[in-house]
Amino acid sequence: EDQVTQSPEALRLQEGESSSLNCSYTVSGLRGLFWYRQDPGKGPEFLFTLYSAGEEKEKERLKATLTKKESFLHITAPKPEDSATYLCAVQDWGGYQKVTFGTGTKLQVIP
């Protein structure tokens, strides 16, 4: 059974203070790893898909990286509007359309 563990559970940063969120995963064979952002009471917003170890993707202040056991979401010089819960999810080759979500990291960026 696929497992996804995210850390830390919550993170409080000053505006401009860079940091990283961690997503550790266990799958029989990784088909894809996804990062989502979710604001309170809203649906998750897709950020990135990573397929293989060594892959990196960037979008504005966010950069996602992937190894064989974990993924990092690096946040450079965050702004208050980056405050949200960040969800990591994985899909394995046997999982058809099913993805397994981690419990998320709640990020708060203070002005």
Interaction site with another protein (CB under 8 A): 31-32, 34, 36, 41-46, 49, 51, 87, 89, 91, 96-99, 101-104
Least Cβ distance, residue 33 to another protein (angstroms): 8
CB atoms within 10 A of CB 11: 17
Cα(84)–Cα(8) distance, rounded to whole angstroms?
14
For 60: left if phi > 0, alpha if psi spans -120 to 50, otherwise beta; the answer is: left
Cα(89)–Cα(104) distance, rounded to whole angstroms?
9
9 or 17: whose CB is closer to another protein?
Answer: 9
8 or 46: whose CB is closer to another protein?
Answer: 46
Least Cβ distance, residue 77 to another protein (angstroms): 26
82 or 92: whose CB is closer to another protein?
Answer: 92
